[in-house]
């Protein structure tokens, strides 16, 4: 089943007179259950592509279909709605809400999805267990290590059982051990629940785990290989 | 909803000093406004009260030709048989007191000092004299058959160095256009709390003033106090008679009534200005938070928070600030108003016009209505003005978050 389908997608950034063609016509599909890496040199368009798949942004031209749904013409709120049930995000710099505890950060998407308190509690505990943060559930992000923060971010991305998780350089700010741990967790979830994962990364340790590697260059797909 | 407030509370806690300062700005504004409202209310009520009690009464019956500015005691301007007329009016249910008063102009001299005064002939035992009898600071009030006694105000006594028992020379303009003079003994000295009034008036018993000025069996007016001043029109209609004119307190105090009516509008403008300033502080605080939290708002949006929910989050912050600031401010405003309601604020001699008496000391009065009005307005203005930063936050694109994460 196709989770995401992009057809001839371009994204041009305009700052004043300067135009940057970040994506130059990308056509690709992401199948359910894939564990895909987007790789390529800096500036090749990985983050931009991830943002389009995640409906955080709109393409300059072309089509983005998520879960069979055409997203090009959705407004800001409709895109937020689409995201909150189907797509989870893990960002490079952990991106937790600093005023909320680990527990509350993971709970946030569940709140936004209108889950009942008992459902929320059960799910949050389950996830904190899965990423091994139970002992730090009531710490705020600044009281957690980078690796712990990134694990919380993964737990948050997973909380609503999204079909697809998009991660932008999830290990870039982690040491080898923590990076490996985060990858193991995601890999395990991918196997057990069939959740689709797409990473943008430079990190060979991440690429090593991938089942598919898409290489970008100057906004075009240079190579697409299953491994 | 609870969760929004929890988040809002913690967000305010992130920059505790900034939050406290903007809360304080709001508190200060609220307290200031409460005090201003209480001051206005106190001033309006006291000048209304003083003007009615001292100057105009609730109703006056005058001769059709009477001119209050002339102080003439020529018979053609006066009411004949005033005691009788007053007695008839006082018999009415709605009337608290009706008493004849005669006004003449005169000059008080002691040794080589002279001061122009208004001579008021009064019926000493009338209830309408309460402001004077209650304000007696030494000696006693007049009796009806006193032929040599006079009661004077404290500032006049002080400026002429007069004490109870001392004598003064009083010169009067008589009804035939000439003058007469006589020595009087100071029986009592009074104060009404309005220096401007007290320094320009002296009291004689009605009978003595009539004889002294040649007004004989006449008076300038029947001064009437009602049990309820709202009945002035009705009573005025009932006591109408040929050759008389009956004036109500609203007719007698047009300026005061006008000022009173305008004071609400005036107050509203002050409210808007001060609340506008405080709202700017709040908006500024929230704008700063919005800019600082661009990334965070992007993250919230990325995980599915909708624009409306982002707005709610910021409105919750504004509401908490407003709640804290306004609660604190109203307590302070109430305390200050209560304090000055007890001890008063001293302004001294304001000067006085015929239709406007201001007392030397103004006591603030904070009505529950005014307080509630202010609290609600301050809250609404604060929350409304925070809509702007809140909307700005809600329109941020989530792309920002990923972008800034790089
Ligand atoms: N918001 C933006 N405004 C203008 N130009 C942008 C913006 N975001 C990205 N770009 C440009 O688009 C191109 C692709 O950027 P993108 O962030 O997708 O690259 P990337 O592959 O993620 O790079 P990196 O590996 O360094 O993260 C770059 O030339 C970048 O400068
Ligand atoms: Mg990138």
**Alpha-carbon gap, residue B291 to A211, rounded angstroms:** 40
Query: How far is C-alpha A128 from the chain's CA centre?
Result: 18
Note the pLDDT of residue B405.
44
Number of domains in chain A: 1
Residue B80 sits at φ, ψ, to 5 deg, of -90, 155
Note the pLDDT of residue B281.
85
Beta bridge partners of B301: none
| Numbered residues of chain A with Cβ closer than 8 Å to any chain B Cβ | 47, 50-51, 54, 56-57, 76-77, 80-81, 83-85, 88-89, 91-93, 95-100, 108-109, 111-113, 156, 160, 168
- Within-domain flag for A22: no
pLDDT tens digits, A67-92: 888 998 888 888 888 888 789 988 87
- Within-domain flag for A198: yes
**Residues B156/B98, Cβ–Cβ less than 8 Å:** no
- Within-domain flag for A14: no
Q: Helix axis angle, B16-50 relative to B368-385, nearest 10°? A: 150
Residue A39's domain comprises 34-58+81-224
Note the pLDDT of residue B360.
86
Would you state the structure tokens that stand for residue B352, as one six-digit string? 């006085």
pLDDT tens digits, A203-227: 888 888 899 999 999 999 999 988 7
pLDDT tens digits, B6-34: 888 988 888 899 899 989 999 999 999 99
Note the pLDDT of residue B355.
61
- Within-domain flag for A152: yes
Residue B218 sits at φ, ψ, to 5 deg, of -130, 160
Mean pLDDT for chain B overall: 90
Beta bridge partners of A168: A200
- Within-domain flag for A70: no
Q: What is the DSSP string of B247-301?
A: EEHHHHTHHHHHHHHHHHHHHHHHHHHHHHHHHHHHHHHHHHHHHHTHHHHHHHH
- Within-domain flag for A125: yes
Domain ranges of chain B: 2-52+256-405, 65-242
pLDDT of residue A200 exceeding 70, the answer is yes
The pLDDT-based confidence of A45 (bands split at 50, 70, 90) is very high
- Within-domain flag for A26: no
Please list the pLDDT of chain B residue by residue as tens digits (406 residues): 668 888 889 888 888 998 999 899 999 999 999 999 999 999 888 888 888 999 899 999 999 888 887 788 888 899 999 999 999 999 999 999 999 999 999 999 998 899 999 999 999 999 999 999 999 999 999 999 999 999 999 999 999 999 999 999 999 999 998 999 999 999 999 999 889 899 999 999 999 999 999 999 999 999 999 999 999 999 999 888 888 899 999 998 888 888 888 888 888 898 889 888 888 888 888 898 888 888 888 888 888 888 899 999 999 999 999 999 999 999 999 999 999 999 999 887 766 665 677 788 889 999 999 999 999 999 999 999 899 999 988 888 777 655 654 4
CATH number at residue A187: 3.40.50.300
Tell me how crowded residue B227 is: count the other CB atoms within 10 A of its CB: 13
Would you state the structure tokens that stand for residue B143, as one six-digit string? 């009796």
**Residues B336/B31, Cβ–Cβ less than 8 Å:** yes
Minimum distance, in Å, between the CA of residue A166 and any CA atom of chain B: 11
Mean pLDDT for chain A overall: 90
- Within-domain flag for A67: no
**Residues B337/B38, Cβ–Cβ less than 8 Å:** yes
**Alpha-carbon gap, residue A59 to A9, rounded angstroms:** 6
Cα A45 to ligand 1 centre (Å): 6
Contacts of B401 in chain A (CB under 8 A): 56, 91, 95
Q: Rounded to the nearest 5 degrees, what angle is found at the Cα of A82, between the Cα atoms of A78 and A86?
A: 175
């Amino acid at each position: 089943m196709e989770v995401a389908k992009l057809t001839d997608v371009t994204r041009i950034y305009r700052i004043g007179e300067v135009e940057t063609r970040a994506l130059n016509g990308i056509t690709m599909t992401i199948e359910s259950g894939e564990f895909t890496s987007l790789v390529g040199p800096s500036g090749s368009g990985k983050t931009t592509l991830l943002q389009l798949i995640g409906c955080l942004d709109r393409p300059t031209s072309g089509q983005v279909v998520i879960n069979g749904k055409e997203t090009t013409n959705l407004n800001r709120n409709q895109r937020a709605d689409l995201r909150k049930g189907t797509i989870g995000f893990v960002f490079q710099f952990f991106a937790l809400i600093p005023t909320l505890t680990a527990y509350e950060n993971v709970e946030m998407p569940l709140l936004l999805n209108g889950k009942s308190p008992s459902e929320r509690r059960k799910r949050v505990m389950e996830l904190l267990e899965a990423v091994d943060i139970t002992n730090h559930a009531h710490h705020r992000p600044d009281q957690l290590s980078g690796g712990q923060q990134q694990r919380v971010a993964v737990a948050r991305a997973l909380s609503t059982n999204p079909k697809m998780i998009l991660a932008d350089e999830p290990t870039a700010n982690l040491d080898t051990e923590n990076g490996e741990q985060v990858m193991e967790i995601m890999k395990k979830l991918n196997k057990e629940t069939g959740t689709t994962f797409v990473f943008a990364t430079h990190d060979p340790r991440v690429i090593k785990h991938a089942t598919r590697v898409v290489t970008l260059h100057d906004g075009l797909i240079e190579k697409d290989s299953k491994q | 909803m609870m969760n929004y407030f929890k988040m809002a509370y913690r967000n305010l806690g992130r920059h505790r000093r900034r939050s406290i300062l903007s809360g304080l700005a709001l508190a200060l504004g609220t307290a200031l406004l409460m005090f201003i409202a209480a001051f206005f209310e106190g001033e309006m009520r006291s000048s209304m009260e003083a003007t009615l009690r001292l100057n105009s009464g609730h109703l006056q019956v005058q001769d059709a030709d009477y001119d209050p500015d002339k102080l003439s005691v020529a018979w053609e301007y006066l009411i004949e048989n005033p005691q009788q007329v007053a007695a008839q009016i006082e018999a009415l249910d709605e009337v608290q007191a009706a008493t004849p008063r005669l006004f003449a102009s005169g000059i008080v001299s002691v040794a080589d000092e002279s001061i122009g005064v208004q001579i008021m002939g009064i019926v000493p035992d009338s209830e309408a004299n309460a402001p004077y009898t209650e304000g007696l600071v030494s000696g006693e009030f007049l009796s009806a058959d006193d032929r040599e006694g006079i009661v004077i105000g404290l500032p006049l006594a002080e400026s002429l160095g007069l004490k109870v028992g001392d004598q003064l020379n009083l010169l009067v303009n008589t009804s035939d256009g000439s003058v007469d003079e006589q020595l009087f003994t100071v029986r009592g000295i009074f104060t009404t709390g309005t220096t401007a009034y007290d320094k320009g008036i002296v009291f004689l018993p009605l009978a003595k003033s009539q004889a002294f000025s040649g007004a004989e069996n006449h008076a300038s007016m029947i001064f009437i106090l009602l049990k309820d001043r709202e009945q002035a029109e009705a009573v005025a209609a009932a006591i109408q008679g040929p050759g008389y004119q009956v004036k109500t307190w609203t007719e007698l105090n047009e300026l005061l009534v006008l000022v009173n009516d305008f004071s609400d509008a005036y107050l509203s403008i002050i409210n808007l200005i001060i609340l506008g300033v405080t709202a700017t502080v709040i908006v500024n605080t929230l704008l700063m938070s919005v800019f600082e939290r661009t990334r965070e708002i992007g993250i919230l949006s990325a995980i599915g928070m909708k624009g409306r929910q982002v707005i709610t989050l910021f409105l919750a912050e504004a509401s908490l600030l407003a709640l804290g600031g306004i609660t604190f401010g109203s307590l302070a405003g109430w305390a200050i108003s209560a304090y000055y309601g007890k001890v008063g604020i001293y302004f001294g001699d304001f000067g006085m016009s015929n239709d406007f008496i201001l007392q030397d000391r103004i006591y603030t009065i904070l009505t529950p209505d005014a307080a509630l009005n202010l609290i609600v307005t301050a809250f609404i203005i604060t929350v409304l003005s925070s809509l702007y930063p809140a909307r700005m936050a809600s329109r941020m694109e989530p792309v920002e978050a990923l972008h800034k994460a790089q």
